[in-house]
Amino acid sequence: MSDATMKPLQVGLIGFGTVGKGVFDVLRRNEEEITRRAGRPIRITWIATRTLDRARDGTRGVDGVNLTNDSAVVVRHPDIDIVCELIGGVEPARSMVLDAISRGKHVVTANKALLAQHGNEIFAAASDKGVMVAFEAAVAGGVPIIKALREGLTANRIEWIAGIINGTSNFILSEMRETGASFADALKEAQARGYAEADPTFDVEGIDAAHKLSIMSAIAFGVPMQYEKAYAEGISKLTREDLRYAEELGYRIKLLAITRRAKNGIELRVHPTLIPTKRLIANVEGAMNAVLVKGDAVGATLYYGAGAGAEPTASAIIADLVDVTRMHTADPNHRVPHLAFQPDQLTDVPFLPMGEVETSYYLRMRVDDKPGVLADITRILADRDISIDAMIQKEPSEGEFQTDIILLTHRSIEKRVVDAIAHIEALPTVRDKVVRIRLEQLN
Ligand code: HSE
């Protein structure tokens, strides 16, 4: 029987920035309902923060909570049941988490970089100690995608996942398309709104999305986390021209994170991708996140919501605190495994190198406006078994003798397309590098 008057579970927060404050506020505001759900009260009793003066400022509302600037005090405190790590980055977060686990404490973390790179080590340590490491907030912020993949879809053989899981990049692409803003201005605005990582190259170069994708891939396919196998290409080289041409062809460009069970292995890739505008996920704009999951039984399911921000992230963290509270006294063997599959049942399916990935392509080339140019290009593609799906050729501007040709291809193996591009670029009539953006129909 649950008893809301039972001794509270005690939480220590490590980090008290935007997200930490969000957790504190939501937990306090919804305390009564959360307690009724969890079966016992959940209390933040310690906070470790580098900015003690700010935390002590009366406006932060943390009266009655113990404050320290030494995280070890919290991690090692005998009364703390759950350590909530909110500092981000690999070190010192990794050492703190391992220290907490070694002391038999559960861990709740939003740290995708840490889990993507050291998740296997951390989960193994947690299993040895019989404690839980919960990480709903690490992927897509407030969207409960970990819960959905690990539990809601557990009947399915997952076929693929395609997600918009970096709000900063999505915000930038929306701004560039809707307002004509430059990449640099849109990034500044995303930073001002607090979406971006400490190092924004993590956002715009696909690294943050690759961290999150590695976590989802492991859960979906029952493989160890292997971030180092992920391919990451960001949005910093996209031009407004290509966003416009894509629209003309009925597509929208998104930074898509894709993991797919292919014949010879698992694809794990993040890159700008054309998606048909008529797909729901193509219309996810601004800093919002969305994840499309294809299961063999359920078909396609779509999860949408805020991927960053204080209270959306707090929503996911508190869900983890409640889960841990409910399962705290359960036999560790009866808990949901960290990566959905029992730890001794993970398999070692290889991840495919990018050259072996199969997808479609948008190719834009600047060419001399002369007879035979198009024939040369299509021959190069045909020789490599690459079939053309659609094409537009622009009229040269007044007084110009060069023009843009844009081709969309059917699905092909990437290494063939790379080879075709090298041969196209070697044609004397082709100016500049060929712009290559991958394309997914998502049907
Ligand atoms: N920098 C991340 C984003 C925050 O832009 O989505 C949430 O992980």
pLDDT digits (tens, 9 = 90+) for 88-123: 999 999 999 999 999 999 999 999 999 999 999 999
How far, in Å, is the centroid of ligand 1 from the Cα of 363? 29
Beta bridge partners of 11: 44, 82
Distance, in Å, from the CA atom of 439 to the CA atom of 410, rounded to the nearest integer, reads 9
Please indicate whether residue 168, judged by its CB atom, sits closer than 6 Å to ligand 1.
Answer: yes
Residue 160 has pLDDT above 60, yes or no: yes
Q: pLDDT-based confidence at 156, cuts 50/70/90?
A: very high
Greatest mean pLDDT among 4-13, 203-212, 327-336: 203-212
Name which CATH class applies to 358-439: alpha beta
Please indicate whether residue 406, judged by its CB atom, sits closer than 6 Å to ligand 1.
Answer: no
Q: Which residues in 356-429 belong to E strands, given as ranges?
A: 358-368, 388-393, 402-409, 412-413
Six-digit token pair at 204?
A: 């715009």
Catalytic residue among 212, 229, 254, 294: 212
- SS3 assignment, position 286: coil
In contact, 197 and 203? CB cutoff 8 Å: yes
Q: pLDDT-based confidence at 398, cuts 50/70/90?
A: confident
For ligand 1, atom 7, name the residue with the nearest CA: 308
pLDDT tens digits for range 46-74: 999 998 888 887 777 888 899 999 999 99
Residue 271 has pLDDT above 90, yes or no: yes
In contact, 271 and 438? CB cutoff 8 Å: yes
For ligand 1, atom 8, name the residue with the nearest CA: 308
In contact, 380 and 346? CB cutoff 8 Å: no
Non-local (6+) Cβ contacts of 111 within 8 A are: 85, 86, 87, 88, 89, 93, 135, 138
Q: Is 212 a catalytic residue?
A: yes
How far, in Å, is the centroid of ligand 1 from the Cα of 141? 8
Architecture in CATH for domain 3-143+311-345: 3-Layer(aba) Sandwich (3.40)
pLDDT of the residue at 3? 53
Antiparallel, parallel or unpaired: β 231-232 and 106-109: unpaired
Question: What share of the chain in percent tops pLDDT 90?
Answer: 88
Mutating to test ligand 1, I would choose from 146, 166, 187, 199 the residue with most ligand atoms within 8 A of its C-beta, which is 166
For ligand 1, atom 4, name the residue with the nearest CA: 308
Alpha helices in 300-340 (DSSP H): 310-327
Please indicate whether residue 166, judged by its CB atom, sits closer than 6 Å to ligand 1.
Answer: yes
Residue 380 has pLDDT above 80, yes or no: yes
How far, in Å, is the centroid of ligand 1 from the Cα of 304? 14
pLDDT of the residue at 397? 84
pLDDT tens digits for range 4-51: 568 999 999 999 999 999 999 999 999 999 999 999 999 999 999 998
In contact, 211 and 243? CB cutoff 8 Å: no
> Which has more pLDDT, 397 or 10?
10
Q: Right CATH number for 145-307 from 3.40.30.10, 1.10.3470.10, 3.30.360.10, 3.40.47.10?
A: 3.30.360.10
pLDDT of the residue at 337? 94
Please indicate whether residue 141, judged by its CB atom, sits closer than 6 Å to ligand 1.
Answer: yes
For residue 313, which atom of ligand 1 is closest to its CA? 7
In contact, 131 and 105? CB cutoff 8 Å: yes
- SS3 assignment, position 278: coil
Question: What share of the chain in percent tops pLDDT 70?
Answer: 99
Residue 166 has pLDDT above 60, yes or no: yes
Please indicate whether residue 197, judged by its CB atom, sits closer than 6 Å to ligand 1.
Answer: yes
What residue segments make up the domains of the chain, in order of their start? Answer: 3-143+311-345, 145-307, 358-439
pLDDT of the residue at 126? 98
Q: Write the DSSP symbol of residue 343.
A: G
Angle between helices 310-327 and 31-38 (to 10 degrees): 30
Please indicate whether residue 203, judged by its CB atom, sits closer than 6 Å to ligand 1.
Answer: yes
> 374, 388, 373: which is closest to 428 by C-alpha?
373
In contact, 181 and 314? CB cutoff 8 Å: no
Six-digit token pair at 248?
A: 């003309």
Q: Write the DSSP symbol of residue 5.
A: T
CA gyration radius for the chain? 24
Please indicate whether residue 111, judged by its CB atom, sits closer than 6 Å to ligand 1.
Answer: no
pLDDT of the residue at 63? 84
pLDDT of the residue at 5? 60
How far, in Å, is the centroid of ligand 1 from the Cα of 266? 25
Q: What is the largest CA-CA distance in the chain?
A: 83
Please indicate whether residue 205, judged by its CB atom, sits closer than 6 Å to ligand 1.
Answer: no
Distance, in Å, from the CA atom of 269 to the CA atom of 271, rounded to the nearest integer, reads 7
Distance, in Å, from the CA atom of 180 to the CA atom of 176, rounded to the nearest integer, reads 5
How far, in Å, is the centroid of ligand 1 from the Cα of 190? 10
Please indicate whether residue 409, judged by its CB atom, sits closer than 6 Å to ligand 1.
Answer: no
Side-chain half-sphere of 191: how many Cα atoms within 13 Å? Answer: 14
**Cα angle 323, 140, 169; round to 5:** 165
- Mean pLDDT, rounded, for 167-193: 93
